[in-house]
Amino acid sequence: MAKRKRDRAGTSKGKAPSPQGALSLDARVRSTLSAFASTTAWRTVLSVMVAVLTYWTIAGGVMKSWPGPQVAVVLGIVTALVAPGWLAALTVALGVYAVGAMTGPAVFWFVGNPAYAPQALVGWAILAAAVAAGVSYVVEQRWLKPDWLLWLAIAIVVVNMWAGVITANREGYLEANTGLAVPSLEQIIETGNAPEAMKTNDGLYHLVVVRKLKAGESYYPAASEALDRDGSGTIKGPSGVLNLREPLLYWFLAALPSAMAVFVAYLMLVSGAAIGILAALRDVVRAPLVLPGIFAVLSWSIPFSTTIMLYTSELWMGTLALVAFTLFAVSVRREPWRPWVAAAVSVAVLAFLVREFAGTLFVGGALAAALGPADRRRWSLVAWGVGALVAAAGYVAHVAAVQPFLTGAPGMELLGRGGIAFALGGLTFSTLTFGTGIAAVLAVLAYAGAVLMPDVGRRSFALVVLVTPMVLFLFVGNGALDPLSGAPVNYWSESFMPVAYACIPAVFALVPGAVPARRLSGPAAS
């Protein structure tokens, strides 16, 4: 039997190679060389893509101090973890930082500021290149594990975000147009005293309700009375159920002992949700390619967590929706999978009891279960169905509790006309850390990433969560307008944008070499 054993070229031992075997061997060698060359080229392409997205998502304000060099360090690490060698890493990091610094979201750093002169930018670009080359060499020599460096990059961004948010919330500032001193967010939360211009802000309304609960009032009377927040007496109470949010978030915020506790609670939630994307997508693309999605969520949260918008229910609901999505995504590739689905359903219920927009989570979960593996279908459908019933029961109780306080007062109609401008405006709402142009590009990548999810479960879940609100926004709006431009203000998009940004890394799967060697296999990936 051994003498007749054939090798991979199609020849038998002791015999001359057949012409067909020789041609096959030659084709294999050429194919291998071609694959090696293309892999190197594609890894370079990937490194450019991930470097650009990393720069865009961290250069606009996430760094607490010395943003230039810190961005350079993170950019260098991320680039090195993807590039095919130290020279490619050096070149890509140098080029991306140099071009990005002059065109990206951090261009405001050096406009009119001598500390950020062009020569400083050149120095930071060189630093990014040096870090990229050094990290690439260290990884090639196996002195450090790539995962350690990946977590170092995440840690730098998270620590800076926490420091920046907490510091900003404890400091007052001078209003640019009027020169008036504006108290810090911490002072506003603790005292309830806000500038006159903030008195009609929805976030302040939520704060007023929380302060009433802290004083011992019941939620529904407090929330109804707080609608007269400008003291004019023109608003006597809610005209409809949608005027009052479900009480869960208010009870939670009122239970926290201080403004600092509120800051820490949200930072813990959004940091955990963002880092969870790594577990959710690690089988979709290689781990370093997930980092732009994590950074996008963290940077997106900053304008909300440093203003009175921190008290809006859409913000907390949207972050909880990301947690539910990541838990479900982990269930797709983990055994045992049932605890992960149960956890996703539980978080979806919490999100719904914060804001009813989270109903899309149950629709997405049920659709994913119906289209998913047959051996999981029944249990998953029951789990999502039970969760939907619990959420519906909570909402029915809320509707019943609101009824005694409805007044039908004019001027409190919540719903207005939607439209294309309102829908698209949600994709770039309050994206100060990106800039409108970059936010629009990130939104396109997010929806493309949802379509490119490799399995029907994550794909259907993500598309339901991202597409349903956009369709709704074409017909229904919130009536809010920007006081300066008059453009519609779609703050409702806070309820799904974290999930959108989490889908961005899936776009990399289009590029050869981006998919992990051991991609998810088996029925769960159907």
SS3 content of the chain, % helix, strand, coil (to 5): 70, 0, 30
456 or 201: whose pLDDT is higher?
A: 456
What does the DSSP 8-state code read for residue 176? T
- Please give the Cα distance from 410 to 227 (Å, whole number): 13
β-bridge partners, 481: 488
- Would you say 379 and 344 are in contact if contact means Cβ atoms under 8 Å apart? no
Closest CA to 292 of 79, 460, 120: 79
Q: What angle do CA 331, 333, 335 make, to 5 degrees?
A: 70
Enter the pTM of the model.
0.87
Q: Which two tokens stand for residue 518?
A: 């051991």
Question: Residue 39 is which amino acid?
Answer: T
Please provide the average confidence, as pLDDT, over all residues in the chain.
84
Average pLDDT over residues 207-233: 83
- Please give the Cα distance from 27 to 420 (Å, whole number): 54
| In the predicted structure, residue 375 carries a pLDDT above the cut 90 | yes
- What's the burial of 24, exposed, middle or buried (CB within 10 Å: 0-12/13-18/19+)? middle
| In the predicted structure, residue 438 carries a pLDDT above the cut 70 | yes
- Please give the Cα distance from 300 to 438 (Å, whole number): 12
Identify the residue whose tokens are 């080229």. Answer: 41
Q: Quick one: angle between helices 19-58 and 67-82, nearest 10?
A: 170
- Please give the Cα distance from 330 to 382 (Å, whole number): 19
pLDDT the model gives residue 87: 94
- Find the farthest-apart pair of alpha carbons in the chain and give their distance in angstroms, rounded: 101
Which of 9-18, 438-447, 473-482 is predicted most confidently? 438-447
Q: Which two tokens stand for residue 159?
A: 């620590």
Q: Which two tokens stand for residue 83?
A: 């590039």
pLDDT single digits (tens) 171-212: 876 555 555 667 888 998 998 887 766 666 777 889 999 999
- Would you say 394 and 400 are in contact if contact means Cβ atoms under 8 Å apart? no
- Would you say 429 and 443 are in contact if contact means Cβ atoms under 8 Å apart? no
| Ramachandran assignment for 237, one of left (phi > 0), alpha (psi -120 to 50 degrees), beta (any other) | left
What does the DSSP 8-state code read for residue 11? -
21 or 469: whose pLDDT is higher?
A: 469
Q: Which two tokens stand for residue 212?
A: 């009433």
33 or 168: whose pLDDT is higher?
A: 168
| In the predicted structure, residue 33 carries a pLDDT above the cut 60 | no
- Would you say 198 and 309 are in contact if contact means Cβ atoms under 8 Å apart? no
Sequence-ordered list of residues with C-beta below 8 angstroms from that of 415, at least 6 positions apart, any chain: 242, 476, 477, 478, 479
The alpha-carbon radius of gyration of the chain (Å, integer) is 26
| Ramachandran assignment for 14, one of left (phi > 0), alpha (psi -120 to 50 degrees), beta (any other) | left
How many CA atoms within 13 Å lie on the side-chain side of 3? 2
| In the predicted structure, residue 410 carries a pLDDT above the cut 60 | no
pLDDT single digits (tens) 107-166: 434 333 444 555 667 888 999 999 999 999 999 999 999 999 999 999 999 999 999 999
